[in-house]
Structure 1
Amino acid sequence: MAFDPDPQDPSHRLISDPGCQQLVGYDTRFDATGACRVTLEVGAQHLNRHGILHGGMVATVMDVVCGNTAAQYFDPEGHAAVVTVALNLSYIAATGPGPVTATAEATGGGKSTAHVTGELKDTEGQLLATATGIFRRIRKR
């Protein structure tokens, strides 16, 4: 799940969505190779009552990184429309406020279905969660 770490690189592509991305506040970028990275600056609004990152926020970030990776699997030059068929999460460690980063890679698929794995880590590289997902390509509306 390699990702060129220089977000100032002009070959990076930023994805901006008007809905959930604006509400949650994550950042989605692709590097020159098409690898996707989703970052979230975890703040008070992302925490559960125990003061740790809410599992629903983890699921959102993992769905975004895996879905965008599936879109690249189908169309590396553009951005294919995909929907999540299944997303399985494993919560490994808890974290509080601060940045987290999700990366993913396509592990296989076919004409209309892609299989993707993903990881969520904190700034020290500690693994917080893993995901496996199945994504279906759909027609853009």
Structure 2
Amino acid sequence: MTLDPALVEDPYAFQSLLGFRMTDWSEDYARFELPVTEALGNRYGIPHGGVYATLLDTVMGFAACYTGDPENRRLAMTLSLNVNYLAQPAGSLLIAEGRRTGGGRKSFFADAVITDDTGIKVAAGTGVFRYRSS
């Protein structure tokens, strides 16, 4: 994985709170990683479903916003998000990978999957997004 450091944006407040970071980004693809910590747990001690939803939403949105130019940022907003919770993680790192699957000039479709560092597929999602005008 090669990620141009010039393309990595400073974390926004919610991203800093949760602790996820971008590890790869290219045309129609994005990858984020999040260490599993106790602070992310629900009352059962496993990551809260909202953590998975946030990662899926973020990675899909970024997947279609790649421009390759830090001076030409593209932004998107979520119109629809579907999340499927598949398994509990066994590892210590969540890995979210998103891909743009279609769309046009104003909106796009994407899908994403979250695995842990042991290879367990813990969540998957699909979404519809709209590009934001500057």
Give the TM-score, by structure 1 length. 0.83
Partners of 1:32 and 1:118 lie apart in 2 by: 15
Offset of residue 96 of structure 1: 5.9
Offset of residue 86 of structure 1: 0.5
**Which residue does the alignment assign to 2:85?**
91
Q: Structure 1 residue runs of 4+, over 4 Å off? A: 31-34
Residue 80 (structure 1) aligned to one of 74, 77, 94:
74
The residue matched to 1:71 in structure 2 has which SS? coil
Which ranges of structure 1 fall in alignment gaps of 5 or more residues?
A: none
**Which residue does the alignment assign to 2:58?**
64
- Residue type of the alignment partner of 1:69: A
Residue 9 (structure 2) aligned to one of 15, 23, 26:
15
- Residue type of the alignment partner of 2:99: E
Offset of residue 125 of structure 1: 1.2
- Matched length: 131
| Alpha carbons 2:83, 2:123 under 8 Å: kept | yes
| Alpha carbons 2:79, 2:128 under 8 Å: kept | yes
Residue 36 (structure 1) aligned to one of 30, 45, 63:
30
| Alpha carbons 2:28, 2:99 under 8 Å: kept | no
Percent identity over the alignment?
Answer: 27
| Alpha carbons 2:91, 2:117 under 8 Å: kept | no
Offset of residue 14 of structure 1: 2.6
Q: RMSD value over aligned CA atoms? A: 2.0
Give the TM-score, by structure 2 length. 0.87
